[in-house]
Amino acid sequence: MNLNTLRALYLLILWDLNKMLRRAVFVAMRVIWFVIQVTVFGLALTAMVRLRGSLPVDVNYYEFYLLGIYTSMLFSISVSRAYDIAEEFEEGIVEYHLSLPISRRVFAVGRTIGGGIASFLFTLPMFAVVLWLLEDVNVEAVIISLSSALLFAMSITGFVLSIVLSLKSGDATDIMFGVLDSLLIRLSTVFYPAVVLSRYAPYLYVALVNPISHIADFLRTLFLFEEYRAIAIASPIAMASYILGLAVGFSSLAMYIVEKKVEGGGWR
C-alpha cells in the first residue's frame, strides 16, 4: 500500500465524515428518536415484562433492552447509508467517484470504512446515554464495545454498498432496506433473549445467524453480567469472531461488486 493509496483512502473517509457533519438536523432527529425509545417505549415495555420464570438467570429487562436498542439503532443508521449512496447515484456523484484516479478496490474499502466510521460516530451520543443509564461500567468493556460497534457498522456499510450498487434503483433500495431493517430487528435478540425465541424454531434459526443478535448479545455479556453468558446466543469469543468475520466478508463483497460489476449509468 503506497502513500497515494493511503491518501485516496483518507479522502474517501473524509467524504463520508463531511457528509455526516452537514447533517446536524438528521443527527438531532435520530437522537430524539432514540431518547423516545429508551424513555417511553423502554420503560413501558419493562413495566409489562415479566422475565422471572421464563429465564434460567435473573435479568433486568431495562438494561437488556438498552443495549439491544442501541444495537438496532447502530444497524438502522448503518443501513441508512443506502439512502445516501442512492442519492449520490441519482446525482451522478457515483459516476464522478468511479472516474477518479483511484482503484475500484480502494474506492470500495474507503467508502466502507468511511461510512462505517460516520455511522459509528453518529451513534456515539446514544451510546453515551446507554452508558449513563447503565451507571456502573468498566473502561475495558467500553473500549471493546466501541471497537466491536465500529467493526459492525463497517460490515453493514460494506453490505449496503454492495447491494445498492447492484440494485441501481432508488425505489428498490428504499423498499429492500426498509423491510430488511424491520424484519432483522424483530428476528433478533434486540427485544427478547434467545431462550424466549427458541419456542419458535424458525425464528431462532434466523436469530442465530442474524448479525444484530451477535452484536447485541456480545455487548450484553460485556456490560451486564457473567450470568448472561448462559443465555446469550453464543459464547463471547464466537460472537466476537462472527463480528470480525462479518466485517472482512462484507468489505470483500463490496470490493468484488465495485471492482467487477459496477459501471456508470443505468440508474432507475
Partner 1 sequence: MGYLSAAWTVASRDISRFWKYRFWLAGQLAMNLADVFIFALVFNNIVNKAYIPDYLKFMTPGVAAIATFAAAFSIGREVGVEIRREVTQYLLSLPMSRSAFVFGRILGGALRGMIYQVSFLVLAALIVNVPTTTKALYIALTTVMLTFSMSSLAIAISTSTKDFNLQATLRALTYYILFFLSNVFYPKEVLAMRFPPQILQIVINTPVSLASDIYRWGFGYYENVDAVSKILLLLIWSLTLTTLASLAYLRNLTKQ
Does position 26 bind partner 1 by CB under 8 A?
A: yes
Q: Specify whether the CB–CB gap between 175 and 181 falls below 8 A.
A: no
With 0-12 / 13-18 / 19 or more C-beta atoms within 10 angstroms meaning exposed / middle / buried, residue 261 is exposed
Does position 178 bind partner 1 by CB under 8 A?
A: yes
Cβ neighbors of 172 (< 8 A, separation 6 or more) are 268
Nearer to partner 1, 42 or 211 (CB): 42
Segment near partner 1 (CB under 8 A), from 1-9, 125-133, 182-190, 242-250? 182-190
Segment near partner 1 (CB under 8 A), from 95-103, 174-182, 234-242, 258-266? 174-182
Does position 21 bind partner 1 by CB under 8 A?
A: no
How far is 135 from 132, CA to CA, in rounded Å? 5
- Using only the alpha carbons of the chain, give its radius of gyration: 19
Segment near partner 1 (CB under 8 A), from 2-10, 28-36, 124-132, 225-233? 28-36
How far is 178 from 201, CA to CA, in rounded Å? 25
Segment near partner 1 (CB under 8 A), from 26-34, 101-109, 120-128, 155-163? 26-34
Binding to partner 1 in span 97-126, by CB under 8 A: none
How far is 241 from 162, CA to CA, in rounded Å? 22
Q: Specify whether the CB–CB gap between 224 and 64 falls below 8 A.
A: yes
- Where do contacts with partner 1 occur on this chain (CB under 8 A)? 23, 25-26, 29-30, 32-33, 36-37, 40-41, 43-45, 47-51, 54, 80, 83-84, 86-87, 90, 170-172, 174-176, 178-179, 182-183, 186-187, 191-192, 196-197, 199-200, 203
